[in-house]
Structure 1
Amino acid sequence: MAESLTPLSVIVVGLLRERDMHPYEMMRLIRQRGDDRLVTIANGTFYHTVTRLERRGYAASVGIDRAGNRPARTTYRLTERGAEAGAQWVRQELPRLGRLTEFRVALSESHDLPRGEVIDLLTQRRAALAEYTAELRDRLAAAAAREVPVQFLVEIERESAILDADFAWLDGFLSRLADPTVAWGIDELPVETRERLDAFRESVIS
């Protein structure tokens, strides 16, 4: 079920978890929040993505707004099947290596999973990263022993440095996530924070 979702459709599912929306509102929120760093937003592709979610039973239309002279706007609601598919996709992608766009989107939507589950999934990712990093450093050491010129190792050295930064970030995030005083998920946010988020959403569509 989750395999049929794309990174863009998972972002749409995440928006519909918040409340019912029409595609125009979704696109504006994505851009306002800077999530267009993660996926490409084009009108045709976006509307096609929403239509596919509806066709597969992951979203359902709940009304059409025909106010004023603007085009009719269909409002969509997330179905239980869609919510589960989105959560399963995030579970699937968080621990995986080698799929950077999918990981970034899964991470951005991981707040919809329980804290303990996210810790477990990212701990699995850390173990996979450790194994891959060890293999990479073995290759570098073997290359150094053969006196391979640096010009042929520059990309692998860069990847090794990026992995070091990834480890540092991941360890720090796991430490924060393990702290029960750090809010995780919408329900744990202070009421005033949720009210600010609601006010922000309203300002985007007004």
Structure 2
Amino acid sequence: MPETSRLTPIAVMILATLREADMHTYELVRLLKERRDDRLVPLQKGTIYHTVARLERDGLLAEVGVDRHGNRPERTTYTLRDAGRRAVEEWVRAELPQIDRQSDFRVALSEAHNLERDEVVALLDQRRAMLEASIGEHRVGLEEAAARDTPEQFLVEVQRQAALLAAELAWQDSLRARLADRTLPWGVAEIPEHIKNKHRVSRETFA
């Protein structure tokens, strides 16, 4: 099995989507686009097909069948292997507390539901400490710049970053509170059955 750190964000999203059900690559592409995951990573068909082939070669997913409907081309259906499931969890576990890789953090956050609620709370607590430290560094830097009579026009970007960090911390605290008091449904088991059925019908439509 490859090192988890070598998984690309699109590979993580493919593996995580296969946790929901076995599906062929065409359905993977459709579902990722339907969920607007192209906001997080480029969803080019060639890249996705290449990534699926690599994940199969690495033993993280497996082919479970090939089917053809009418004049449509053959479609290979894939399933997630236990190694793939562990790889998703390990990648999210590593990236969720980070503050210096925003693109990877966004993917980790979008797939955080693959971890247990209490573990996500603990990881967010780790991230909170790093956010607070970074906010403090920005505050000290601005105070030192002011003491040196640095013109404020040279500091507006630093001010912006400090404000963004503070806003992110406030949002994260709100998320953590909803996870901790269980007002935010979490994990597949807490998805309402009618929503699961809706997605099941959607998959069958494109089978």
Alpha-carbon distance change, 114 to 149 in structure 1, aligned in 2, over 3 angstroms? same
Mind listing any 5+ residue stretches in structure 2 that lack a counterpart?
none
Look up the match of 1:150.
Answer: 152
In structure 2, the partner of 1:41 is 43
Equivalent position amino acid for 1:62 in 2: V
Q: Distance in 1 between matches of 2:9 and 2:149?
A: 42
| 2:81 corresponds to | 79
Q: Give 1:12-23 correspondences, 5 Å limit.
A: 12-23=14-25
Residues 38, 13 of structure 1: CA spacing in aligned structure 2 closer, same or farther, 3 A cutoff?
same
CA deviation after TM superposition for structure 1 residue 200, in Å: 4.0
CA–CA distance in 1 between the matches of 2:27 and 2:110?
19
1:181 CA drift (Å) = 4.3
1:5 aligns with 2:11: no
Q: Deviations over 1:6-52 (max 9, x none)?
A: 10001001110001111111111111111110000111111111111
SS at match of 2:19: helix
Deviation string for 1:127-178 (max 9, x for gaps)?
Answer: 1110111011100110111111122212111111111110110010001001
Aligned counterparts of 2:183 and 2:168: Cα–Cα separation in 1: 24
For 1:137 and 1:188, locate their aligned partners in 2 and report how far apart those are by CA, in whole Å: 41
CA 1:179–1:197: 2 relative to 1, 3 Å: farther
Question: Does the residue aligned with 1:68 lie in a helix, a strand or coil?
Answer: coil
For 1:120, the equivalent position in structure 2 comes to 122
1: CA distance between counterparts of 2:111 and 2:160? 28
Report how far residue 183 of structure 1 moved.
Answer: 1.6
CA change 1:179–1:63 in 2 (3 A) is same
Match of 1:188 in 2: 190
The letter for the 2-side match of 1:49 is T
- 180-189 or 51-60: which moved more? 180-189
Partner of 1:101: 103
1:196 is displaced (CA, Å) by 3.0
Paired with 2:140 and 2:199, the residues of 1 have a C-alpha distance of: 48
- The one-letter amino acid paired with 1:161 is A
CA deviation after TM superposition for structure 1 residue 72, in Å: 1.6
Question: Which position in structure 2 is the counterpart of 1:174?
Answer: 176
- In the alignment of these two chains, the number of paired residues is 205
Q: Counterpart amino acid of 1:34?
A: R
Cross-structure match for 1:89: 91
* Aligned counterpart for 2:137 among listed residues 132, 135, 138: 135
CA RMSD of aligned residues (A): 1.3
Which SS does the other structure have where 2:76 is aligned? strand
Q: Say which SS state the counterpart of residue 109 (structure 2) adopts.
A: helix
Question: What secondary structure, in the 3-state scheme, does the structure 1 residue paired with 2:111 have?
Answer: helix
Q: Distance in 2 between matches of 1:43 and 1:195?
A: 27
1:171 and 1:66 map into 2 onto residues whose CA distance is: 49
**Counterpart code for 1:98:** D
TM-score (norm 1): 0.95
